[in-house]
Amino acid sequence: MDRRLLAALPLVLMIGCNADADGDGLSNKEESELGLNPDLADTDGDGLSDGDELEVGSDPLNSDTDGDGLLDGDEILNGADPTQADTDGDGYSDRDEVFAGHDPADADDVIYIGGWPYYYDKESIGNQHGGDNATPGKRFRRFTFPDQYGDTLDIYDYYNEDDLYVLIDVSAEWCGPCREMASWLDGDNGTFMTDYGYNPVRKAVKQGRMYWITIVGEDDFGNGTQPENAVAWFNDYPNPKVAVLADREQEAKDYYALGAWPSVLILKPNLKVDAFSRSNWTTALDRALEIAEAAPATPTAE
C-alpha cells in the first residue's frame, strides 16, 4: 500500500468517529454510546434535536421528559422547561396552560385564580347529559358560570381520572339552611351538618380528596344571581376550596328541578350523576360520607 495512504488512515478513522451524520451537534460515536440514532437529528421526534436535548437536560430518547403531556420541543417553543411538568409552579401543568392559552412560565398567569381543576380534553366528553333535568347515571350538563374571582368556570374542567368525586349544591341567598351548610363547610361545627355526622365530607374537601361547588341560584328576591352575589357569598363563607358560582338565568335551578333548598348532588369523576334527590339534600351527602370514609385521609384538622 502506498505509504501516503497508510499515513492518512488514522486521520480518516478519526474523522469518521467524530463525524456528525445528522448535524445535531453530536458525533456519531457519542450518539452510539447514548443509544441514539446517528442518522436522525431528533431521535425521539419531539421537535428538539438530540444535541439540544442534552444541552437543556431533557431526555433525547423520551419525547416528553417530564411526563406532562407536552412534547419537549413544544415546551421550548412555549418558554417552558421540558424537565419540569409545572415550570412556573402555579399548580397547573405546562400542557394545561398551553392548551388554555396561558403562559406556562408565568406563575401569575393562571387558568383559574381559585386554583380550580382544569381538564384539557373536555371537548371530547361532548355534552351528553340526561335531558332537561339532572338524572342519576347520566352525565351532568355542561354549565359555564362566573365564579367569585371573576373567572368563568367550566363545570367539565372537573372531569378527572384521579377518582375525585364532585359535590354541587344549589343554594339561595334567602335560604337559612343553605347558609348554615355554607357556614359548616367553612368550619362551623355548630350546625345541623355536624349533628348529622357529615364532618368527614368537609375534611375530604379540605384535603383535596373531594371537590365542592356552590351555585348561588337565587338572590334575596328570588331572581337569578350576578357575579357580585357570588363574591358576597364567598365573603360571608370564605372557603378557598369551594368554587362559588353565579347563575344569571337560573339554569341550575331549572336543571335540578328543585324541590328543596339547598339541593345537593354528587358526581362521579366522569361527571355522571352518582346520587341525587330533588326532595332532600341528604341522599347525596350520605353517599359523599361513604366515599369520604372509604378514601385515605391525611391527619390534618377538620
> Residue type for 95, please?
R
Please give the average per-residue pLDDT across 250-273, as a whole number: 95
Q: What does the mean pLDDT of the chain come to? A: 88
Q: How confident is the model at residue 173 (pLDDT cuts 50, 70, 90)?
A: very high
pLDDT in tens, 52-73: 777 777 888 878 888 888 898 8
Per-residue pLDDT of 89-145, as tens digits, reads: 999 999 999 999 999 999 999 999 999 999 999 999 876 666 789 999 999 999 999
Distance, CA of 52 to CA of 117 (rounded, Å): 33
Pairing of strands 165-172, 152-154: unpaired
Q: Which three cell numbers stand for residue 66?
A: 417530564
Output the nine-digit C-alpha cell for 101. Answer: 392559552
pLDDT for the residue numbered 12 = 40
Q: How far apart are CA 291 and CA 176, in angstroms?
A: 27
The arithmetic mean of pLDDT across residues 35-58, rounded, is: 75
Beta strands in the chain (DSSP E): 144-146, 152-154, 165-172, 210-218, 242-246, 263-267, 273-276
Residue 187 CA, distance from chain mean position:
25
3-state secondary structure of 225: coil
Confidence of residue 31 (pLDDT cuts 50, 70, 90): low
CA distance 108 to 106: 5
The rounded distance, in Å, linking the Cα atoms of 185 and 36 is 55
For residue 83, the tally of other CB atoms under 10 A from its CB is 14
Residue labelled with grid coordinates 346520587:
275
Pairwise pLDDT comparison (12 vs 271), residue with the higher score = 271
297 against 285, higher pLDDT = 285
Tens digit of each residue's pLDDT (9 = 90 or more) over 196-222:
999 999 999 999 999 999 999 999 999
Give the domains, in start order, of the chain with CATH numbers.
Answer: 13-100 (no CATH), 123-294 (3.40.30.10)
Cell numbers given for 224? 337569578
What mean pLDDT do residues 64-84 have? 87
